[in-house]
Amino acid sequence: MIDWRENPLLRRELLYRLRPSSPNRAVFVVVGLVVILAVVLLYWAALQSVRRTQNIYIFRDLLTLTLVIETLLVVGGAPAATANAVSREREQRTWDLLTITLLRPHEVVLGKLLGRTIPLFLLLLLGAPMVVLCIAFDPRLLVSALLGTLCVVVTLVFYSTAALAASCFSRKTVTATALAYLFAGAWVFGTLVLWGLTSLIFPSVGSREATFWLAVNPFAVIEPTVTNYASDGYSYSASDPLYVLSPWTLLVVYSGLTALLLWVLISDYRHWAYR
């Protein structure tokens, strides 16, 4: 069994993603500087607003905004990051060379998944200073910040795994990308549609009671999570299903489906890899 640190597939994916080629190095440096400047300006604006306002909820709002931005990056970036992991190699006629190596199915699947997910995870670390800042100024937000960050990471792994599955069972990158974004959109917008339909079809169930659908929406659980688990000072509605179920429903459902998708990809490797 190959040590993960020596997995050639994982090393190739990370080197290809993290090390720019010579012709694009200048563009990479410029883009990196622009991103760093944007993050610095964002932090500066946040600090200025904190100094000028007397709102006791300012750090809760900053934490919520940071988690929303990170979730937006995950929903928009995870499907694109892994949707071409296998389908592009099929189009470039390099996938057959990979299937005849001594790598085991789980090493191929997890190598592809980790190689495409780690760069996006590193991008999410740009929000870590803001989270630490919120906790430093308001320690009551420690548990909320940890649970919110855990939700973002679990969502990243789940959407990346789903996009990888779409890539494995698709022959074209365009098809895999469309399926990956359709899958992500179903969890974001589909839950909103189900929430509205439940309120309309079942009048006895009010819009507030129907919010249980939103417990698996990665955006909807952020505010309840931040509010629920502050040690004191923040109030929430204990009768709202969304507040009661967040974030545990999302963590359990997303983790379970991620494990199921990985099991299908590994156990069914010979079916999709050699077709």
Residue showing tokens 């417990």 = 215
Cis peptide before 247 (omega within 30 of 0): yes
Same domain, 204 and 154: yes
Beta carbons within 10 angstroms of residue 95's beta carbon: 15
56-91 confidence digits (pLDDT tens): 578 888 888 889 989 998 999 899 889 888 888 888
Specify which of 34-38, 66-70, 243-247 reaches the highest per-range mean pLDDT: 66-70
CB 233 within 8 A of CB 255: no
- Please give the Cα distance from 116 to 56 (Å, whole number): 40
Residue 147 lies in a domain: yes
Print burial letters for 189-204: b (CB count within 10 Å at least 16), e (below 16): ebbeebbeebbeeeee
Q: Please tell me the total count of domains within the chain.
A: 2
Same domain, 133 and 267: yes
pLDDT at 12: 64
**Domain containing residue 105:** 58-273
Same domain, 37 and 133: no
Residue 10 lies in a domain: no
Same domain, 122 and 222: yes
More confident residue, 169 or 3: 169
Which of the four pLDDT bands, split at 50, 70 and 90, describes residue 5?
low
Same domain, 35 and 86: no
Residue 225 lies in a domain: yes
Residue showing tokens 């999302």 = 250
Same domain, 33 and 62: no
Average pLDDT, rounded, for the chain? 81
Is the model's pLDDT at 28 over the cut of 90?
no
Single residue among 37, 54, 71 that ends a domain in this structure: 54
Beta carbons within 10 angstroms of residue 113's beta carbon: 25
- Token digits for 137? 């100024």
pLDDT at 153: 96
Residue 134 lies in a domain: yes
CB 118 within 8 A of CB 78: no
Q: What is the mean pLDDT of residues 40-63?
A: 70
pTM: predicted TM-score of the whole model, two decimal places: 0.83
211-225 confidence digits (pLDDT tens): 788 899 999 999 899
Same domain, 44 and 93: no
Same domain, 100 and 198: yes
CB 233 within 8 A of CB 132: no
Same domain, 156 and 216: yes
